[in-house]
Structures are given as structure tokens and as C-alpha cells.
């Protein structure tokens, strides 16, 4: 199954056939396709839900004996594919009613969560929060996201590519959960921290300005970094001036999407750093997504503002088992902080319950994390 355009699916079919793959179920294109390329069937049913793909793959019922050959890892099989019109299929009224109810409940929950303001607007006199033109210049949203990554990972600097930022909007009223999701929609924004010299960081930013301006590979960096794009010189990291004579020996912890360390967007100075750290061998399921980091930091910032203490923990822990259950947490928050909406209460729980145990212990309840997001913008 692929999310590729038909042109790329056809190229894949040329290679897939060599390995005995006979079927590619494609996506991405909005049009319907059913064609054969080099013995491999490519099928897409379109995006309008009028037609559906039905694929039958038949394997031998008897055990297959054969000599092992290099690359011979797929059992012999037959493929039959049909695209059927499903627009006239009558719905089961009772089941349909149940589905509509579930959908409505989901919409209500999403609405409650999505409307929560995660990042308040900047104070008067400061730059407007904006994600416009992140492929040509530093934008306030790009720098803010880099600040948040840096804070969460306790790094010296944070980088993200402008192509990761997608909503191209101004935010005079701040950013909601939905806004953050719109800005960082991709589920491959896994973050990773490496050590770089000041010289390597300078070369990376210089390459970004010289070679990647106007493209998705143009780099955004945090507010503690000062880079002179005219002279292509890095002058400050973590708000501290650099000694030009020690650029090769001064090292910094820098957090960024692991994909650009692995060669995505072709940022050449980062590739040897990725190789040095063997980032292609790093399991992605051990890493956090950028949008999850941003959400977590912003939610915990709001949690900090409530200034809850051990006393609140004990008040919420009704059965005195030194753990707070979710229902105890919700009940206490609604009673102690009635102005806090259900959506943000749910987000508080998700951010605090780090180990997904379904309970909160004292150290999770009273945790603190850094400054508020809006205070990170100069």
C-alpha cells in the first residue's frame, strides 16, 4: 500500500515485479486507476467514495517446497482486482444511526480540544505570531517552535525546516490545538539531538541561506541563535557570543528533525553529522514528534500557571492511595478550577501521565517545565 502519485507507483511497479510483488494499492491521486505494469497491478479507486477496490490474493493451500534463493522471500500467489461501485449500497439504518452518534460525539470532543488556546498572542509591541513565508525568512512561529524544542530537550539550539511549517497564517489571537496541528501536520516530524561544533552549525546555516532559500529545506532557528545572513556568520548561540578562534572546538547540543540528518531536503552539512551519529539506525518509535513536543510544552506551561501543589494532590486523591485516577483528576479540576474547560483538562491529563499508566503520582502532578511559550519570543 502506498501514498504515492501514479508516476511513482509505476516506477515502483518496475522494481516490485523483480521481487514477486503483484499488487500495489495506491493512494494520493484523486482519480481512478487500474493498470498493469511489468506484471504488477496498480489500482486506485478514487477519492469520492463512489467506488471501492476489492482485491483477492490467493496463496497455495498446500505447503510449498522449494530451494531457498537469495531475494526469494514471497510465496507464489494469484491476484484478482475489481473496482466496484458502492454508491448504491443501502445502509443499515440502525447501524448508520449508531455511527452518526459516534461521529457526533467525536466532533464534540475534537471541538472541545481543538479550540483550546495553547499559545497566547504576543504582548503589544512584540512581533505578531506568524508562519508566513517560512521558506525565505525567519518567521516568529518557526523560531517559537525551535525555542520549544530547545527548551524541552535542554539543548543549546533548535532547528526545523521551513517546509515543516504549513499553515501560512498570522495569529493575533494566539494558536489553538487545531492551529498547531495545521502548522505541523506531518506524522514524520521525529526529533533528535546531536552534538555539533560552532563551525558545523555555521556551515549548516550558511548552506541554508545560500542553497535552500525559497525551498522546504530553508532552516528556521531559535531566538538564542544570531546569524548574519549577509556575512554568513554565526555570532551567538544560546544568547552567548562566539569566539571566532574556537569555532572548531566549541560544541553545542542541537535538536532538529532526524529526517534532515538522514539526508531529507539535501542539507549537505548535516549529512556527515547524521552519519557520525548513525541516525539511520535510530528506531523512530523511540522518538517524539515535533507537534507532540510543542503541545506538551504548551499544555504544561498552562498547568504551571495554576500553581497547584502537594496540597491539591492530596485533595484530589479521594481514596488516599497516593495515586490520582483520571476520574478523580477531572472531578477535582472541575471543582477547584471551574473556569478551566473540559478540553484543556483532558490535555493536562495526557501531558502529565508520561508513562500512560492511567494514574498520576505526586511527582507527575507537581512537575514544572520552563517558561510560557509567549515569553520565548523576543
Say yes or no to pLDDT of 74 above 70: no
Q: Tell me how far apart the alpha carbons of residues 185 and 165 are, in angstroms, rounded to a whole number.
A: 8
Contacts of 367 (CB under 8 A, 6+ apart): 300, 352
Residue with more model confidence, 332 or 76: 332
Q: What class, spelled out in words, does domain 119-290 have in CATH?
A: alpha beta
Q: Where is pLDDT greater, at 150 or 124? A: 150
19 — pLDDT class (breaks 50, 70, 90) = confident
Which pLDDT score is estimated for 110? Answer: 81
Residues 69, 60: Cα–Cα separation, whole Å: 19
Closest to 164 (Cα-Cα) out of 137, 143, 183, 139: 183
Residue spans of the domains in the chain: they are 6-85, 119-290, 292-376
Q: Which of 82-96, 223-237, 363-377 has the highest mean pLDDT?
A: 223-237
For the cut 50, the answer to whether the pLDDT of residue 23 exceeds it is: yes
Superfamily the domain 292-376 falls into: EF-hand (1.10.238.10)
Mean pLDDT of the chain: 92
**pLDDT value of residue 355:** 86
Please tell me the predicted confidence (pLDDT) of residue 321: 96
CA 84, CA 50: separation in Å to the nearest integer? 9
Question: Given this chain, do its domains 119-290 and 292-376 carry the same CATH topology?
Answer: no
As a whole number of angstroms, the distance between CA 174 and CA 374 comes to 9
DSSP-assigned letter for residue 262: T
| Residue-level pLDDT at 372 | 47
- State pLDDT tens for residues 288-303: 999 999 999 999 999 9
pLDDT at 72: 54
pLDDT of residue 375: 45
Rounded Cα distance between 354 and 11, Å, is 43
pLDDT at position 73 over 80:
no
Report the distance separating Cα 203 and Cα 218, nearest Å: 13
pLDDT at 377: 43
Angle at 37 between CA 31 and CA 42, to 5 degrees: 35
Q: Lowest-pLDDT range, 77-86, 162-171, 364-373?
A: 364-373
Mean pLDDT along residues 205-213: 98
Q: So what's the pLDDT on residue 16?
A: 85
CA angle 263, 198, 166 (to 5 degrees): 45
Amino acid at each position: 500500500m502506498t501514498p504515492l502519485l501514479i508516476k511513482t507507483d509505476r516506477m515502483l511497479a518496475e522494481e516490485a515485479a523483480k521481487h514477486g510483488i503483484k499488487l500495489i494499492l495506491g493512494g494520493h491521486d484523486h482519480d481512478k486507476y487500474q493498470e498493469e505494469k511489468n506484471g504488477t497491478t496498480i489500482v486506485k479507486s478514487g477519492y469520492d467514495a463512489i467506488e471501492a477496490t476489492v482485491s483477492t490474493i490467493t496463496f497455495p493451500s498446500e505447503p510449498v517446497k522449494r530451494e531457498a534463493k537469495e531475494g526469494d522471500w514471497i510465496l507464489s500467489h494469484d491476484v484478482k482486482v475489481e473496482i466496484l461501485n458502492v454508491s448504491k449500497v443501502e445502509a443499515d439504518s440502525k447501524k448508520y444511526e449508531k455511527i452518526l452518534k459516534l461521529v457526533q460525539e467525536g466532533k464534540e470532543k475534537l471541538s472541545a480540544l481543538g479550540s483550546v488556546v495553547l499559545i497566547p498572542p504576543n504582548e503589544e509591541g512584540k512581533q505578531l505570531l506568524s508562519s508566513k513565508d517560512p521558506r525565505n525568512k525567519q518567521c516568529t512561529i518557526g523560531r517559537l517552535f525551535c525555542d520549544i524544542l530547545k527548551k524541552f530537550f535542554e539543548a543549546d539550539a533548535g532547528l526545523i525546516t521551513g517546509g515543516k511549517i504549513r499553515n501560512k497564517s498570522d495569529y493575533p489571537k494566539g494558536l489553538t490545538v487545531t492551529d498547531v496541528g495545521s502548522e505541523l501536520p506531518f506524522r514524520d516530524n521525529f526529533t533528535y539531538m546531536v552534538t555539533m561544533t560552532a563551525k558545523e552549525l555555521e556551515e549548516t546555516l550558511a548552506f541554508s541561506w545560500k542553497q535552500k532559500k525559497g525551498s522546504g529545506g530553508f532552516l528556521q532557528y531559535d531566538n538564542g541563535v544570531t546569524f548574519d545572513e549577509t556575512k554568513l556568520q554565526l555570532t551567538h548561540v544560546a544568547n552567548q557570543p562566539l569566539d571566532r578562534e574556537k569555532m572548531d572546538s566549541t560544541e553545542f547540543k542541537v535538536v532538529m528533525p532526524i529526517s534532515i540528518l538522514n539526508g531529507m531536503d539535501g542539507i549537505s552539512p548535516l549529512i556527515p553529522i547524521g552519519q557520525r551519529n548513525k541516525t539511520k539506525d535510530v528506531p523512530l518509535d523511540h522518538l517524539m514528534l515535533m507537534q507532540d513536543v510543542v503541545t506538551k510544552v504548551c499544555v504544561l506551561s498552562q498547568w504551571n500557571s495554576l500553581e497547584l501543589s502537594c496540597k491539591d494532590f492530596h485533595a484530589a486523591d479521594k481514596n488516599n492511595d497516593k495515586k490520582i485516577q483520571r476520574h478523580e483528576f477531572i472531578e477535582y479540576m472541575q471543582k477547584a478550577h471551574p473556569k478551566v474547560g473540559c478540553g484543556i483538562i483532558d490535555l493536562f491529563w495526557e501531558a502529565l501521565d508520561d508513562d500512560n499508566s492511567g494514574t498520576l503520582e505526586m511527582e507527575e502532578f507537581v512537575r514544572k517545565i520552563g517558561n510560557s511559550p509567549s515569553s520565548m519570543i523576543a
